[in-house]
Copies of this chain bind each other. A is one copy, B any other.
Amino acid sequence: MKFDTDIRNQLANEVAGACACFKVRQAARLLTRIYDHALKGADLRATQFSLLAAATVGDAPTLSHLADILGMERTTLLRNLGPLERRGLIAVSPEGHRRARQVTVTQTGLQTLARALPLWRAAQERLRATMGETDWLGFHRHLGEVNRLA
């Protein structure tokens, strides 16, 4: 198999320009850096903020249920809860029906969430302003479409 320089450049451009996976990962890296930075004042990473907010839903969701809501591998969720649990922001119940364990946000967790909320809203607003309302809405719509494929 021969790859001259032209073909290789074409290939590199095709992948970088047209690969949905590459581009969405690149966007995720960028937005994560932005939101991580914005949430520093609450000492939370972007993912941790999402987890904390999602865990407040309903009546203490189980690990599997929470993973399902978040579109996250169950084992990934379990690892991601570790740092939050070590800091006392959440608590995981002992095993219940069919080994099920439930996640609850502690008082400290709720306080942290309260500190993080205005920082997150500000980050959202800044990004929305930078992108413009049309692109902001379109971006969200397309992300929703993709995530519904799961």
Q: Which residues of A contact B (CB under 8 A)?
A: 1, 3, 5, 8-9, 11-16, 18-32, 34-35, 46-47, 49-50, 53-59, 69-73, 76, 110-111, 113-114, 117, 120, 123-124, 127, 130-131, 135-136, 138-140, 142-147, 149-150
Contact = CB atoms under 8 A, between A and B. Distances in A.
15 contacts: A1-B111, A3-B113, A8-B56, A9-B58, A11-B53, A12-B56, A15-B49, A19-B50, A21-B34, A22-B46, A26-B72, A27-B146, A29-B73, A30-B147, A131-B145
A13 B110 CA distance: 16
A22 B50 contact: yes
State the majority secondary structure of interface residues on A.
helix
A149 B13 CA distance: 19
A124 B30 contact: no
A26 B111 contact: no
A150 to B, nearest CB: 5
Nearest to A131: B145
Among A28, A70, A120, A145: residue with most chain B CB under 10 A? A28
A8 B54 CA distance: 9
A50 B5 CA distance: 17
Contact of A70 (B5, B26, B28): B26
